[in-house]
Amino acid sequence: MTVAPKREDYDVVVIGAGPAGLAAAATSAEAGLTTLLLDENIGPGGQVFRAISSTPVTERSQLGADYWVGADLVQSLRASNAEVIHRATVWSLDRNLDIAVSIGGASAFVKAKRVILATGALERPFPIPGWTLPGVMTAGAAQTMLKSSALVPGGRTVIAGQGPLLWLLAAQILRLGGRIDRILDTTERGNYFAALPHAFAFLTSPYFTKGLAMMREVKAKVQVVSGVTELTAIGDGQLTSVSYAAGGKRETIPADLLLLHQGVVPNVNLAMSADVEHRWDDLQLCWSPVLDASGNSSVAGIAIAGDGAGIGGANAAVVRGRIAARAAVEALAPAVAAKLPAMATLRADLAKAERGRVFLDTLFRPSPQFRIPSGDTIVCRCEEVTAKDVLDSVAIGATGPNQLKAYRRAGMGPCQGRLCGLTVTELMAQARGKTPQEIGYYRLRAPVKPITLAELAAVPKSEADIKAVVRG
């Protein structure tokens, strides 16, 4: 089923139907603004509430109570007048708030008075030796299969990395009867001390008790090796074993599947392609958009909510979505804004939702050796560029990621740097003795997701084009 947008102009276009987008679109539409929600997936929920209205997993405890919160958000959205289109890939957004979207193989253009980007997070690249072997995948990809199809690993499975989502996934796999042979925890020991000063806020946050219970549940069933400092995926054309070092001891274990995860980072591609200003976040080790307290970016009319605004988790995402939508209502229908929850209330909610975040960010700050590879380890998968290739390019004068494109085509494949961008920035920063902020990032360009030439050729002709044909 393909449904083109009903209008050419909207008050508010929300991009992404995860927690932030669902909340933003519902708030905006309830306030009477013409609202379009565009989402790439087949149903609402984003990653955290993936397949919330279609999952075959019906036993609620298996995915956890937090997952089912998504159902309420979807309910509010459906009760509103927001126009919602799924399988809609936004491939261009610019500072004029012109949006190009591909729906069912056909592209349409819409214009917005305000755009709320809720494009969420991506998993941080985990460039260890052998990470591109078949049999190695991200934990997020495994979770997608689990939520949408109840598929869990059956072969010899190793999970490596760190962060809350790693434990959540492990628990979900085990509850659904999946197999996990070993968990290799790469959390740096020093991080526990660094995180200590922030522990009080964390102890009083909702993450604490849930997180602890989940780790206990997993540790009861799986051997967990902590303090892992080296990690290699081994295999000839297919993963056969995983080698690691912890506490000075090295071990190699056979494996059919290695799931890697070391946290998530904002998905900045669409915002960056619209020339939204971003800054390097030294704690979260990623690029985050520069935003005001209402989520407004450096580009007039574009606000960003959810993890795309800086990782804050699902609860914070919902509130940020409401804040961005309220700001849009204030700008476009001030009279109605008075009826919405006050901005001060929302900001207090946000502070509450963000409590404990600094602790998590500090504790789960990935180690340098898992972020900055060396030697023959692949950095850019699309163009098969290794760490050594990057350093060689620096040696002959590449000063940043954009020059690296010219030397090595890094970041020029279809993923536009999603899988290598952070690695390239940090690797070049280290090699040149600069900060990531000074090194910068790839200049990203539309189409943010590839479209076919045939689809572009089929877009409606512009006035100028019609005139050109008449003249010619």
Partner 1 sequence: MTQNVDAIVVGGGIHGCSTTLHLCLAGLKPVLIEKDYAGRHASGVNAGGVRQLARHIQEIPLSIRSMGIWEKIKDLLDDDCSFESYGQVLVAENEEELAVCRARVAELNALGFTHEELIDATELRRLVPAVAETCPGGVVSRRDGAANPAQTTTAFRRKAQQLGATVREGVAASNIRYSDGLWHIDVGTETFAAPVLVNAAGAWAGKIAAALGEPVPVETVAPMLMITSRVPHFIDPVVILRGRKLSFKQFSNGTVLIGGGHLATPNQDRNETVLDWKSLAISARTVFELFPVMRGATIVRAWAGIEAKMKDDIPVFGPSSRHKGLYHQFGFSLHGFQLGPGAGAVMAELIVNGGTQTRVGDLGIDRFHPSTL
182 vs 408 by CB, closer to partner 1: 408
311: helix, coil or strand? coil
54 vs 462 by CB, closer to partner 1: 462
Q: Take residue 148 and report the two structure tokens written for it.
A: 């949408």
Judged by CB under 8 A, does residue 412 bind partner 1? yes
Judged by CB under 8 A, does residue 470 bind partner 1? no
Q: Take residue 327 and report the two structure tokens written for it.
A: 């700001």
Residues 253-292 close enough to bind partner 1 by CB under 8 A: 275
Residues 90-119 close enough to bind partner 1 by CB under 8 A: 92, 94-96, 98, 100, 109
Residues 417-446 close enough to bind partner 1 by CB under 8 A: 443, 445-446
Burial of 335 (0-12, 13-18, 19+ CB in 10 A): exposed
DSSP annotation of 296: B
Least spacing, CB of residue 396 vs partner 1, in Å: 7
Residue 435: other Cβ atoms inside 10 A: 11
69 vs 382 by CB, closer to partner 1: 382
- Residue 409 has phi, psi (to 5 degrees) of 60, 15
How far apart are the C-alpha atoms of 17 and 450, rounded to whole Å? Answer: 20
Least spacing, CB of residue 113 vs partner 1, in Å: 17
- Which residues neighbour 280 within 8 Å (Cβ) at sequence distance 6 or greater? 286, 287, 425, 435, 436, 437
100 vs 422 by CB, closer to partner 1: 100
Judged by CB under 8 A, does residue 413 bind partner 1? yes
Residues 14-43 close enough to bind partner 1 by CB under 8 A: none
75 vs 462 by CB, closer to partner 1: 462
Burial string for 372-411 (b: 16+ CB within 10 Å, else e) reads bbeeebbbbbbbebbbebbbebbeeebebbeebbebbebb
99 vs 166 by CB, closer to partner 1: 99
Selected from 58, 396, 433, 470, the binder of partner 1 by CB under 8 A is 396
- Which residues neighbour 259 within 8 Å (Cβ) at sequence distance 6 or greater? 137, 138, 139, 142, 153, 157, 158, 159, 160, 161, 169
Binding site for partner 1 (CB under 8 A): 92, 94-96, 98, 100, 109, 275, 396-400, 402-403, 405-407, 409, 412-414, 416, 443, 445-447, 450-454, 456-457, 459-462, 464-465, 468, 472
